[in-house]
Amino acid sequence: MDTAISDDIKALLRKCSVATLSTQLFKRGLRQTVMQGVRPLSQGPEPMVGEAFTLRFIPAREDLDHVGVFADPNHPQRKAIETVPPGHVLVCDCRGDARAASGGSILLTRLKVRGVAGFVSDGGLRDSPEIAELGFPVYFGGPAPMLNLARHHAVDLNQPIGCGGVAVFPGDVLVGDGEGVIVIPRHLAKEVAHDAAEQERLEQFVIEEVRKGAPVIGTYPPKEAALARYQEWLKRQPKG
Amino acid sequence: MDTAISDDIKALLRKCSVATLSTQLFKRGLRQTVMQGVRPLSQGPEPMVGEAFTLRFIPAREDLDHVGVFADPNHPQRKAIETVPPGHVLVCDCRGDARAASGGSILLTRLKVRGVAGFVSDGGLRDSPEIAELGFPVYFGGPAPMLNLARHHAVDLNQPIGCGGVAVFPGDVLVGDGEGVIVIPRHLAKEVAHDAAEQERLEQFVIEEVRKGAPVIGTYPPKEAALARYQEWLKRQPKG
Amino acid sequence: MDTAISDDIKALLRKCSVATLSTQLFKRGLRQTVMQGVRPLSQGPEPMVGEAFTLRFIPAREDLDHVGVFADPNHPQRKAIETVPPGHVLVCDCRGDARAASGGSILLTRLKVRGVAGFVSDGGLRDSPEIAELGFPVYFGGPAPMLNLARHHAVDLNQPIGCGGVAVFPGDVLVGDGEGVIVIPRHLAKEVAHDAAEQERLEQFVIEEVRKGAPVIGTYPPKEAALARYQEWLKRQPKG
Amino acid sequence: MDTAISDDIKALLRKCSVATLSTQLFKRGLRQTVMQGVRPLSQGPEPMVGEAFTLRFIPAREDLDHVGVFADPNHPQRKAIETVPPGHVLVCDCRGDARAASGGSILLTRLKVRGVAGFVSDGGLRDSPEIAELGFPVYFGGPAPMLNLARHHAVDLNQPIGCGGVAVFPGDVLVGDGEGVIVIPRHLAKEVAHDAAEQERLEQFVIEEVRKGAPVIGTYPPKEAALARYQEWLKRQPKG
Amino acid sequence: MDTAISDDIKALLRKCSVATLSTQLFKRGLRQTVMQGVRPLSQGPEPMVGEAFTLRFIPAREDLDHVGVFADPNHPQRKAIETVPPGHVLVCDCRGDARAASGGSILLTRLKVRGVAGFVSDGGLRDSPEIAELGFPVYFGGPAPMLNLARHHAVDLNQPIGCGGVAVFPGDVLVGDGEGVIVIPRHLAKEVAHDAAEQERLEQFVIEEVRKGAPVIGTYPPKEAALARYQEWLKRQPKG
Amino acid sequence: MDTAISDDIKALLRKCSVATLSTQLFKRGLRQTVMQGVRPLSQGPEPMVGEAFTLRFIPAREDLDHVGVFADPNHPQRKAIETVPPGHVLVCDCRGDARAASGGSILLTRLKVRGVAGFVSDGGLRDSPEIAELGFPVYFGGPAPMLNLARHHAVDLNQPIGCGGVAVFPGDVLVGDGEGVIVIPRHLAKEVAHDAAEQERLEQFVIEEVRKGAPVIGTYPPKEAALARYQEWLKRQPKG
């Protein structure tokens, strides 16, 4: 993980929608970046941005996955909750199976208390109404009262995984907004953050024009006249 | 399109739920009329009623669908946005694939500004949280931050299409409410509007009876006694 | 139905989440207990608890399922609405097909007026926005404006059925909360209610600890020290 | 079951493909007649034709569905095997879940020995390679080594069911060929058999014409000239 | 369609598997090229290679799609059968819905008689056992006895379509083998044919080496030593 | 891996069907043992029995998964082919995505040459017609001409994985027959092999009885009289 993800980059990313970031990755040839079947359950005071810390589940096996396993302090799910670094996002690979939970309100509360940046899973979550009240960024495959042991066997931490059909390597940067979650490969985070922030600025101008009656043809993308107006507009914008 | 859809018909249709309209079409032998997998994202000040103007997508091809294509003023998606007549509904055939967008907040804002009656797609939409704030009737397959080029290649305008598993011919009448969207074949719009409005009136009476304690058997559908009460009730209703 | 479901048991169950109840059934070897594809449309003033009264549909047949059938006072769907006992839950087996309704606002209003405990279906519901306003516990497969006759043919009442992939025998106890619905085999209701209520109490303690900064390891499940604190905590709790 | 299904009708039906029969039912307004997700595993010396005898399964429950249940001589699955009348077809409703078996080679062998006309299930079958050798008409949802108890709980015999998305009433006539299975409502069997046999005859003529170079337009459906040739052709056909 | 598809190119393509062709398109950035859900029903004396002639269906509508429509000599399905040029492939867009047929044995026989190169559909086919005997290249979504009118309404010929999730433009080159069908954009056909034929030659060498005991590492892809052996091997191959 | 899997156990397992083995595991409380969506492509001279050696894929990422990667001698897929021990089964976790290959004829030929016991994947395979000719046990999710890089990124060897919805730990025993594949937890292999072989013997007797006209009730499972006949039958069987 040679490319540090600075606070500046994270701040830029917080200004960008997942939609805009997906366009930037698409321009770089990356098409499988937005998780499918993973939707927001709740959001925090600001958009979720953080590096991935992963937890991998395989299908459960009845003789291994009984309620006694949680007494083991090294059970990978419980260990993940206590070892994901603050500011990181805990990402779970549940093979897209949301028929059982990958966590519940107690574990999610602990993540929030620990200063973790968010939780993402393509499995289910139990206690989802309580979790929705936490004010903590959570993305999931759907409500699933059934405990994780019924379907999921936790195996390892911080290995490359798939989540929502997207490859997630530890340290990749995850961004979540009101639509979903995108995975930005770590080595691209900086340039994507800058280009996406610029795209956001331009689209802010475009939507203002459209609200005032401009047609999309010529404005989006902007042709010469619109670009000139954009340059003027930019000068009028507050710094930052 | 010989059968004009008058403002009177549209006004009647706005009083009818999609459920009621589906019963009227069912009575006429039409069963595949309500779109599947197409749900409301947002609604306008009044229910969506309008004639269909269609846009067809086929699967994307990587060498054709790059971000440069939007510079072409004749790109079908952009052209659709500018040419759908006010009062009509823009309907997109995305083959039910909601993994990528069929539009975003800039395009949808333009539709609203232009006085279009609504937007319907069995594909996804990006910027869905912003679109939800527009106060404009929008029905879609789900949030999809990924831009349309990743999955969808726009090919033509105003051809017959499928959307949500229902045939849509240009000029058919689309009605949307809080549950979904129904397609009324143009030649049936007038008679269906009248019969559905009458059905709504009867069901208004029925639900009032049921709230007061009437059993459904004998009341829904109404037998002789209930029908007599209905005639009395009708006399007490305000005109219009 | 030899094991009576007393008001005390029902009161205990109302304090328990579906998640907690699923853990208790999991401990007893039951894994297929939470309905899949059945979600809340609306909830009542208190959580849904009631014994199952069932209605079974098979696929519709065009010559049998025309709008005239509802004139028959013995049509099973209408009969179900009038004969499900107050305090019970009407559960519909639609084979997981939510493309057509299993009921609408008139029937659901009648259920509420009659004092029925709730409605559960793995099919669709029409008039779902109106139903959502009833303040009555309703769980369903999704909005479906199309009337039931288009897909579903009602055949019998109070037979064993499947709903959401779970076996439901008449008299089983259904509990619904903000996440979904669980089926508790009648003979297990009493012991599950007691054990689940106790689990809820413990988890209440645990989440308070976690909010105050306790790690999940050692607290959930509680080891010796945490158990001691729990005993102290219990003494401080109000009765009831 | 007032309309007897004579041997003559059955003989006519054996000459008709499921495709042709589906056209005849379509002409009568019936569209949901061919089972979906139910395919041939093996066929007998002649096409399967027989009246439906039904077996219904609901989802399994772990405390009820253990291997001990088969010791009960009244277990519905075993009872079905011994009571389906010779010449009838045993049809199983597995709710389209082919992840576990609805039978295996021992039960299917018994059906053949007993002179049953065939076996149809929208669930799985175990020992499918052995069953494929029986020379007995079998239609199923796919190979499923896992025994039925893992997913399916047998509840009752000879009730109306759904199978492959089609309503099946006891006594309906099932026909199976190399493509699949169709359900003919009992009261329509006679007229459908006659009209379908006639359609088969015409299509035999048409395909001979097409093989000789006739275009489909004008031949299929036949216009005047082709119809005249057909009348000639009919005279040349052997009787019966 | 400026780039002619010569007989030489077609001959080269007949020597290439769909797998090999997909690698060549993948190298050029094209990933959505192999149809999904479209499998061989039967094959001809040589692999299917031909230019696409398209037929588009939208969902059926009950009032338009009755059996009388085939009397119209301009019905698009029947017209497609008579107008697809010999040597071309008729490709049908059924929106991936294989619950009803897109053709049957009479139409497919006519295509063979007319010297058409093959038939491809992501819908179903009726009379599939008879079609399988034709010795004609046919790819489809599965057996479907139900006639096309039940689900599909034919709308136009030779427009861009989707089939099996892949864009198909009239004139694109379709190749089918024992695994499936690939769509080669017309402008790439020549270069892809040459490179794929060369890849086939190398892989022929590689598999011979592997059969003799060579490890895949160093052989596939070949490193220096293997490449030298390949050059020797090439000299020993017969011309052509 | 303390429990050795002797040749004797393997020989016993080769006599047992996957169906029979699933019953034995079901009796021990294990229900998720038979892979779903994984079917035979070809079989060897004897049934597949071997210990699991695993290969794990996550979703592909366009910048990592280009055709150049196979030049790396440590690419996990290629390394797996060369390091899976003879007599073991190579099992691939493709997250159930069969839209791209997990191998092709060259790699599968190498596995056969090396004396590997079989290949199992819940992804696709390319060159499937050629592989089907190898006479080597292969189980897969379906034909997929598209190369693995389009969907799958190989990450590690011999870690616990999921395949076809079943947990697979390295060293578990996989058995495959004409229906599918079952995973036997290593510590249960010995006892399951013995009990399954005995069950096979009993079922051989039962099916002979049924062929001779015995009813299933009383014979399967056998009651007293049948058990007595079974004891006699056993004495008549050849040893071994």
Which residues does C43 contact at the CB level (< 8 Å), separation at least 6? Answer: C135, C137, C176, C177, C178
Tell me the average pLDDT across F115-143.
Answer: 98
Find the CB nearest A113 among C39, C213, C221: C213
Find the CB nearest D26 among E78, E127, E147: E147
pLDDT confidence of residue C36: 98
Residue C55 to residue C159: CA distance in whole angstroms: 7
Contact state of B179 with C144 under an 8 Å Cβ cutoff? yes
pLDDT tops 60 at residue E4: yes
pLDDT confidence of residue C3: 65
- Whole-model pTM: value is 0.97
Residue ranges in chain D modelled with pLDDT below 50: 1
Tell me the average pLDDT across A71-79.
Answer: 94
In chain C, DSSP assigns E strands to: 39-42, 48-59, 88-93, 118-121, 138-140, 152-157, 161-163, 166-168, 173-176, 181-184
E143 neighbourhood in chain D, CB within 8 Å: 39, 178-180
D155 neighbourhood in chain C, CB within 8 Å: 159-160
Chain D: closest CA distance from residue C59 (Å) = 5
Contact state of B27 with C81 under an 8 Å Cβ cutoff? no
For residue F54 the two structure tokens come to: 């695993």
Backbone angles phi, psi at E143, to 5 degrees: -65, 140
Chain F: closest CA distance from residue A77 (Å) = 16
For residue A56 the two structure tokens come to: 């991998």
pLDDT confidence of residue B3: 65
Residue F137 to residue F119: CA distance in whole angstroms: 6
Segment (H or E) for C181? strand C181-184
Contact state of D185 with C63 under an 8 Å Cβ cutoff? yes
Cα separations in angstroms, F206 against D92, D102, D106, F224: 23, 18, 7, 13
Residues B180 and C143 sit within 8 Å (Cβ to Cβ): yes
Find the CB nearest F179 among D73, D128, D149: D128
The three-state secondary structure class of B53 is strand
Structure confidence at residue C9 as a pLDDT band (50, 70, 90):
very high
Per-residue pLDDT tens over the stretch C57-109: 999 999 999 999 999 999 999 999 999 999 999 999 999 999 999 999 999 99
In 3D space, the residue among B98, B114, B83, B85 whose CA is nearest the CA of residue B35 turns out to be: B98
pLDDT tops 60 at residue C235: yes
Contact state of C160 with D155 under an 8 Å Cβ cutoff? yes
Q: Hey, is the C-beta of D14 within 8 angstroms of any chain C C-beta?
A: no
Chains that touch D (3 or more CB pairs under 8 A): C, E, F
Residue ranges in chain B modelled with pLDDT below 50: 1
Segment (H or E) for E129? helix E128-131
Structure confidence at residue E240 as a pLDDT band (50, 70, 90):
low
Residues C162 and D123 sit within 8 Å (Cβ to Cβ): no
Backbone angles phi, psi at B202, to 5 degrees: -60, -45
In 3D space, the residue among F67, F104, F98 whose CA is nearest the CA of residue E26 turns out to be: F67
| DSSP string covering C62-84 | TTT-SGGGGGSTT-HHHHHHHHS
pLDDT tops 90 at residue C40: yes
Per-residue pLDDT tens over the stretch E93-122: 999 999 999 999 999 999 999 999 999 999
| DSSP string covering D104-120 | -HHHHHHHHHTT--EEE
Residues B158 and B170 sit within 8 Å (Cβ to Cβ): yes
Contact state of A70 with C179 under an 8 Å Cβ cutoff? no
Q: Hey, is the C-beta of F26 within 8 angstroms of any chain D C-beta?
A: yes
Chain E: closest CA distance from residue D103 (Å) = 24
What is the sign of the dihedral through the CA atoms of B224, B226, B227 and B232?
Answer: positive
Contact state of A179 with B143 under an 8 Å Cβ cutoff? yes
Report yes or no on chains C and B touching (3+ CB pairs under 8 A).
yes
Segment (H or E) for E166? strand E166-168
Residue type, D179: E
Per-residue pLDDT tens over the stretch F51-73: 999 999 999 999 999 999 999 99
Tell me the average pLDDT across A122-151.
Answer: 98
For residue B70 the two structure tokens come to: 């939007």
Residue F69 to residue B112: CA distance in whole angstroms: 49
Residues E40 and E139 sit within 8 Å (Cβ to Cβ): yes
Find the CB nearest B129 among A26, A178, A223: A178
Q: Hey, is the C-beta of D27 within 8 angstroms of any chain C C-beta?
A: no
Chain B: closest CA distance from residue E164 (Å) = 9
Backbone angles phi, psi at C19, to 5 degrees: -60, -50
B58 neighbourhood in chain E, CB within 8 Å: 160-162, 167-168
Chains that touch F (3 or more CB pairs under 8 A): A, D, E
Q: How far apart are the first and last CA of chain E?
A: 29
Backbone angles phi, psi at D125, to 5 degrees: -140, 140
Whether a cis peptide bond, with omega within 30° of 0, leads into E221 is: yes
Residues E55 and E232 sit within 8 Å (Cβ to Cβ): no
pLDDT tops 70 at residue E48: yes
Spacing of C-alpha F148 from chain mean position: 21
Residue type, E4: A
Contact state of E29 with B62 under an 8 Å Cβ cutoff? yes
Q: Hey, is the C-beta of C206 within 8 angstroms of any chain A C-beta?
A: yes
pLDDT confidence of residue E59: 98
For residue A147 the two structure tokens come to: 């405990």
Find the CB nearest A216 among B71, B106, B128: B106
Chains that touch E (3 or more CB pairs under 8 A): B, D, F
Structure confidence at residue C4 as a pLDDT band (50, 70, 90):
confident
CATH 3.50.30.40 residue window(s) in chain F = 31-184
pLDDT confidence of residue E188: 97
Segment (H or E) for E204? helix E189-211
Q: Hey, is the C-beta of A213 within 8 angstroms of any chain B C-beta?
A: yes
D176 neighbourhood in chain E, CB within 8 Å: none
Best probe of the A interface among C210, C211, C219, C227, by most A CBs < 10 A, is: C210
- Closest residue of chain E to D37, computed from CA coordinates: E99
- What is the value of ipTM here, to two decimals? 0.95
Per-residue pLDDT tens over the stretch A184-200: 999 999 999 999 999 99
Contact state of B27 with C67 under an 8 Å Cβ cutoff? yes
Q: Hey, is the C-beta of C171 within 8 angstroms of any chain D C-beta?
A: no
Find the CB nearest D30 among C61, C96, C160: C61
For residue E72 the two structure tokens come to: 């119209």
Tell me the average pLDDT across A8-22.
Answer: 97
Half-sphere exposure of D4 (CA within 13 A, CB side): 3
pLDDT tops 60 at residue A2: no
Backbone angles phi, psi at C69, to 5 degrees: -65, -25
Best probe of the F interface among A31, A54, A62, A163, by most F CBs < 10 A, is: A62
Contact state of C67 with B26 under an 8 Å Cβ cutoff? yes
Cα angle C117-C120-C124, degrees, rounded to a multiple of 5: 140
Structural domain A31-184, CATH architecture: 3-Layer(bba) Sandwich (3.50)
Find the CB nearest F216 among D78, D126, D143: D78
Residue B52 to residue B39: CA distance in whole angstroms: 17
Residue F137 to residue F117: CA distance in whole angstroms: 7
pLDDT confidence of residue D239: 72
Residues B159 and B57 sit within 8 Å (Cβ to Cβ): no
Q: What is the mean pLDDT of chain F?
A: 96
Chains that touch A (3 or more CB pairs under 8 A): B, C, F
Whether a cis peptide bond, with omega within 30° of 0, leads into C47 is: no
Residue C94 to residue C83: CA distance in whole angstroms: 19
Contact state of A63 with F166 under an 8 Å Cβ cutoff? no
In 3D space, the residue among C56, C55, C128, C126 whose CA is nearest the CA of residue C89 turns out to be: C55
pLDDT confidence of residue A197: 97
Best probe of the C interface among A75, A127, A130, A153, by most C CBs < 10 A, is: A127
Chain C: closest CA distance from residue B135 (Å) = 18
pLDDT confidence of residue D2: 55
Residues D94 and D113 sit within 8 Å (Cβ to Cβ): no
Spacing of C-alpha A46 from chain mean position: 12
Strands C152-157 and C88-93: unpaired
Residues E128 and E101 sit within 8 Å (Cβ to Cβ): no
pLDDT confidence of residue E238: 86
Q: Which of residues 119-138 of E touch F (CB under 8 A)?
A: none
Find the CB nearest F207 among D109, D144, D149: D109
Structure confidence at residue F2 as a pLDDT band (50, 70, 90):
low
Tokens 């379907």 found at: A151
pLDDT confidence of residue F238: 86
Structure confidence at residue C240 as a pLDDT band (50, 70, 90):
low
In 3D space, the residue among A98, A102, A101, A106 whose CA is nearest the CA of residue A90 turns out to be: A102
- Helices then strands (H, E): number in chain A? 7, 10
3-state SS track over D9-32: HHHHHHCCCHHHHHHHHHHCCCCC
